[in-house]
Amino acid sequence: MLPRLPTVTKALLIANAILFLLQQPFLLGDATFAPFMLQPLQGSFDAFSPGGNFQPWQLLTYGFLHGSFGHLFFNMLAVFMFGAPLEQTWGEKRFLTFYLVCVAGAGLCQMLVGSLMENPATVLGASGGVFGLLLAYGMLFPNQRVMLLFPPIPMKARTFVILFGVGELVLGATGWQPGVAHFAHLGGMLFGWLLIRYWRGQPPFKPRPPGPPKRPNHLRSIK
């Protein structure tokens, strides 16, 4: 099945699986990867200090580390389900750009909210990128049918995205599900939405100038 996947989607699945294996105690262990988890902002910027502090690279590296097999499995299932059709639509470069922007944007939002709520925490996981992919799928394929896992209810992708977004907002605001970076999930969706709007030249961004008209095939020079 993996050989049929687009290149970047397949690479993301393999990279996350390998790093999760290396995180296990019988190999390198979590402590080795602490400098690459998203640490809260503190007084200094030495990521290799005993407590671990924020460094800019963590805005990307945290998205390739996971805290449990279930955490990894459901994130990679979503990458598999939503990443492949998006990469086939956008191409490798745009898809990878989108995914990494969502990961970094999710981290920024989580850090900001954590500092405002005086509840900073170390964050890891691909969920910010995954929620960005979910948002993009709902925007590009709004009428495509998707299935909830629990309970197994089919619905349009647009409805699926709205329900997940509202649910994450409620859980993040109320604290009903502690230990989950809900605002990172929302941040991934927000940055994904902004990037798609930018690419489309839609508000809040200026319209993008049209490209040069394509010449008919019979007028193109042969190189």
List active site positions. 127, 185
User: What are the tokens at 150?
Assistant: 């629990």
Angle made by CA atoms 62, 190, 35, in degrees to the nearest 5 = 15
DSSP code of 27? T
> Distance between CA 41 and CA 123 in Å, rounded?
12
β partners of residue 146: 155
End-to-end, the C-alpha distance of the chain in Å comes to 38
The phi and psi torsions of 27 (rounded to 5 degrees) equal -115, -110
Residues in the chain: 223
